[in-house]
Each structure stands twice: as C-alpha cells, then as structure tokens.
Structure 1
Amino acid sequence: MKKMLYLLMMSIGMLFMGSCQKDEVLDLPMDGKIKLAETSLPTGEQLSVFADKALQVGYQNLYFQVKKNGLAVKDQPLTFAPIMDMGSMAHGAPSGNLTYQSNLEAYQGFVVFTMPSGESGTWSLKVTYQGKEVEIPVDVTAAATGNTPVKTISGNDGKKYVLALVEPSKPKMGMNDLVLMVFLRENMFSFSPVEGLALGFHPEMTSMNHGSPNNVVPVSIGKGQYQGKVNFTMTGDWRLFFDLKLGENEIAKDIYLDLLF
C-alpha cells in the first residue's frame, strides 16, 4: 500500500513539473526573435532590442523591451531613430512610431534600412526614453544577392522618394500578398509616408522574358502602405515594376524592386 501511494505521489509530482515546464516555454513572448542588443538606460531600466531576423537592407520590424526589476514597463514615452554615421555626414532612414504590444511585452516599430553597414558608415539606433537618450550600434548587411527590397528615387516633381517592399517577405510560387511602402524624403532625417498615390504594377521574370496573370494592383491602406497581390508562376528572378501618380501628376514610371527565390 505504501509503495502504491509513493508511486502515485511521484506521478503527480512529475505531472506538476511537466506542466510548469510547459508554462515556462509558453511564457516567452520574444521566443523566436533575435536579440540585437541589451543595455542599461540612464534611468536605470534594462533595454533589450529584438528583430525577426538578422538586420539586412530593407524593411525590418524592431521590438524594444524595457524592464525594471525583471518586470516589463509599458505606457512610458519611448521613441527611436535610425542613424547612419558616414564620418563627414550622417542621415536617417524611414521608420515607424513605437506602439506597445502586450502579447510581446515590448514596443514594436519598423525601420527601412537604405544601405548596409561597412566602410561607408555605421548604423545605430538612437533611443529616447523619458527624455534621456542612448545610442545602440547595430550591424546591417546587404540584401541577399539578386534582391533589391528598397530604392530611393528622384520623382518628376523634383522630390526624393523611398520605396520599400514589405511583403512578400517569404515569396513562394503562386499568389502572394504584396505590400509596398512609399515615403517622401523631406530632409536627411525626416521621411513621411505618402498617401493618395495611384499605382501601376506588373511583374516580369527578366531571365525568361515573361510576366504573370491575375496580379492585383496595390491600393492605399493608409500610413503610406499599398496592398495588392503578385502571382509568381515559377521560382527565380522577378522584377516588380511600379508607376507612381499623384492626381494627374506622374511622379515616376517603371521603378522596380527585385526578388530572387
């Protein structure tokens, strides 16, 4: 009888431990993301910066986690700005305001890196928290060979624009979501989303000299984002052509971004 009771207690204990271990695995809001940096803020809190993947030229989601005494901090003023230091000059890049995501216990935003780190210069993220600043160096590599996910152009109106491909981030054969972001470069550090554009769009497989059917021209969904569909009939090198019009004014024609998969 005592042996049976002992075995029963052991079984319950093991079930309890297994349950705790499962809970610990589930309680990892940033699990699967890459930690880019960790530093102490001037106010004493701990700041960790995460991304979905190693940073490359193009559109990237970023996550800023602030903790005090091991607990996540929210509802505090937190901003960031990407800075490229080129020695004799510096410039920024398009980025999005941070919003707190309770399921991640972190502030989420985005950045569009327009060039890689290297001999030309280095990237850092200037983070401002409760009025105090800290700069976090980050390394940005070039986009994979055959891919051009971002481009800066001069429009027919004499203004500078930045086009960035958001989706497809993992292109596949067949129909894919297509999301493009367009920014106006107001100065070297200010990039505003462009609303109200009418886009033209068609994809071409340049090496095979053909396009694809059933594509959906992207339309505005707000905040400088334009959503449509692109149909890749086979894997390989694809060039996405865009025309940009604002009212009756043609800003640019046949501007392209490249995908190779």
Structure 2
Amino acid sequence: MKLKHILPILFISLIATGCSTDDNDIPTLNEVEGLLKIQEIVNNNHTIELYSKTGEFSTGYNNVTIRIKDNENNSYFENATISWVPVMQMPTMQHSCPKTAITKVSGKKTMFNGSLIYQMTNTDGSGWSLTFNYTINNVDYSVTDTISVYQAEKQNVTTIMGADDTRYILALIEPNDPIIGINDLMIGLYKMENMMSFPVVKDYTIMLDPRMPGMGNHSSPNNTDLSFKNTDSMYHGNLSLTMTGYWVLNLKLVDDNNTLLKGEDVTEQNEKSSLYLEIEF
C-alpha cells in the first residue's frame, strides 16, 4: 500500500482512539459507594433514596444517608432542606422515636445524613412509616411510605421509666466492631417529652459495669463511666473487653443532681442490673 493511502487510515485511527479514550476517562461519581440501599420513597416529582452500611432498618441506632432524585431527568439535587417524621402505628395510638436533624454531608455533592433510633418494632418488621418534608428551590414537597424495621439480635436499645417518672431511651452507638482491649463506648440518651418528641438528655451520668454471664459473670479492668459531650450530644466512656463472647453492659442512670434514676449494682445476689445493653463479638 502506498504512503498516501496509509496516512489517512492512521489519522482516522488516531482520532477514533482519542475519542474512545476521552469517553472512558470521564469519571463516574458514585457517592454512595460502600453503602447499601435500604429502599426508595417516591412521589410524583422525586425519589428519596435511603442508604446505610447494612441496607436495612433495625431496632437501635441507624445512621442513614439520603439522596433526592429528580424523576424527570434522573439527576440528583445538591441543595435541599429536609426533615423527617418516623411514626409507629400501635393498635390504639401512634408514637415517634429519637432522631437527629438531616444535614448535608461535608464534601459530598448529593448526600445528606441523619440518624434514627427505633426503640421497638413488630415481629415481622411492620408498623413503621417515614415521612419526608423537604424544600427544593423554594418549593415545598412531602412524601410518606411504610418501612420495615427489624429486631436486632442483641439489646442495643432499651426504654425505661426513671425514678422521676420520666421515660428514657438509651441506645448503643459505638463500638460497631468491638475489639479485645479498650473500646470507645458511646450511648445516646433521650427522654420521651410526648409521643412525638424525644429530646437529648444532657449532663447526666451513665455508670458502667460490663460482665460476662457465661464466664462466671466476671467484669474487666479500666472501664470508665459515661459523661455527656456537647460536641456530638452523646455520652462517652471506656469499655474494656478482655475476651470475645457475650457481654452484658450493666448500667446505672444518674441525673445531674446525683439522683439514681434506674439501675442497680451487680453483686453475687444480683447478677444483672435492670438497666443494661448487650454486645457479642
């Protein structure tokens, strides 16, 4: 083949190769990588996508990532104001649960984040609904759908009546992946103001005594009681786990006047406090 025929072919090949490379090199934004979709809640305008690390709602603490998709062009909104209302329908009444505000995730274009603490559920996961009220470009929208909330294997949340006749909810937040050694223990504490309002309780003390019922109910060294931190509105302490297995986190709740509201010391006669959470690893 003569050179005058070869040059046009090479030129066309270079153009085709260049175009193909440019297309393949366009980065694909996947802001929910590493998360699993829980479900979608849809109205005529938008789809609310809900994600978490587990891909489901369960009793206890749920950290939820949220995106809003435009149903017309499948694009995701970068700016919105969002609030939510979880509701459980009981046979004769309905109630909500503790929750945080929904905020934009720092450094992410389309992701919003909040947490819900479901204190109970039905055996089949039914009973709960979730409403989103949100504003985009100064227009208000709302959407509601039923959700499934499954019972956690261990008691990671508990509801108690305190000596002050106030109903409290305590939820285990951390550790997610316990280790042998000192763990950062984080617990959320809330009170039931009414059936729909569960504000954070500040400046109490949660006293800690972890025990292994299957190993003579022994405890562990270097634990510390939990105190409130304003930075995240949670209670923090040190949890010492000396071996793998099933642990009961025996707790006592003390108010800001040093009054014991719930819980007892663990003794030979009393193997477990009436206020406790569970961990197994």
Q: TM-score range with shorter-chain normalisation?
A: 0.7 to 0.9
Q: CA deviation at 1:18?
A: 5.8
Partner residue in 1 for 2:268: none
Task: Please tell me whether the aligned partners of residues 183 and 224 of structure 1 are also in contact (alpha carbons under 8 angstroms).
Answer: no
Letter in 2 for 1:244: L
Q: CA deviation at 1:215?
A: 1.9
| Structure 2 counterparts to residues 205-244 of structure 1, below 5 A | 205-208=212-215, 209-222=217-230, 224-244=233-253
SS at match of 2:149: coil
What does residue 35 of structure 2 align with? Answer: 33
Against the structure 1 CA distance between its residues 232 and 104, is the aligned structure 2 distance closer, same or farther, given a 3 Å change threshold? farther
Select 1:251's aligned residue among 239, 245, 261: 261
Question: What's the counterpart of residue 149 of structure 2?
Answer: 140
Quote the Cα distance in structure 2 between the aligned partners of 1:70 and 1:99.
Answer: 22
CA RMSD for the aligned pairs? 2.7
Q: Distance in 1 between matches of 2:109 and 2:188?
A: 24
Larger Rg: 2
Correspondence 1:98 to 2:105: no
- Counterpart Cα distance in 1 of 2:226 and 2:168: 17
Change (3 A) 1:170 1:31: same
Name the structure where strand makes up a greater proportion of residues.
1
Residue type of the alignment partner of 1:257: L
Look up the match of 1:81.
85
Separation in structure 1 between the aligned mates of residue 38 and residue 125 of structure 2, nearest angstrom: 21
Give the 3 Å change call, closer, same or farther, for CA 186–201 of structure 1 in structure 2.
same
Query: Match of 1:252, as an amino acid?
Result: K
Which has the larger displacement, 31-40 or 10-19? 10-19
Q: Is the 8 A contact 1:117 1:139 kept in 2?
A: no
2:127 corresponds in structure 1 to 122
Matched, 1:110 2:115: yes
* 1:72 aligned partner, one-letter code: Y
Equivalence for 1:190: 197
Residues 83-106 of structure 1: CA deviation (Å, up to 9, x unaligned): 112243211111111001142622
The within-5 A match list for 1:44-59 is 44-53=45-54, 54-59=56-61
Q: C-alpha distance in 1, partners of 2:112/2:60? A: 20
> Match of 2:151, SS?
coil
Alignment CA distance shift 1:59-1:120 (3 Å): closer
CA 1:104 to 1:173, structure 2 compared with 1: closer, same or farther past 3 Å? farther
Alignment partner, residue 60 of structure 1: 62
For normalisation by structure 1, the TM-score amounts to 0.86
1:6-53: CA deviation from partner (whole Å, max 9, x where unpaired)? 9x9598778656644xx32xx2101121222224335x2332122221
The letter of the residue matching 2:152 is: A
The CA deviation at 1:67 is 2.6
Instruction: Give the conservation status (yes or no) of the 8 Å contact 1:37–1:136.
Output: no
Task: Return closer, same or farther for 1:176/1:17 CA change in 2, 3 Å cut-off.
Answer: farther
The answer for unaligned runs of 5 or more in structure 1 is none
Deviant stretches of 4+, over 4 Å: 8-18
Please list every run of 5 or more consecutive structure 2 residues that lacks an aligned counterpart in the other structure.
Answer: 264-272
Identity of aligned residues (%): 27
Kept after mapping to 2: 8 A contact 1:175/1:230: yes
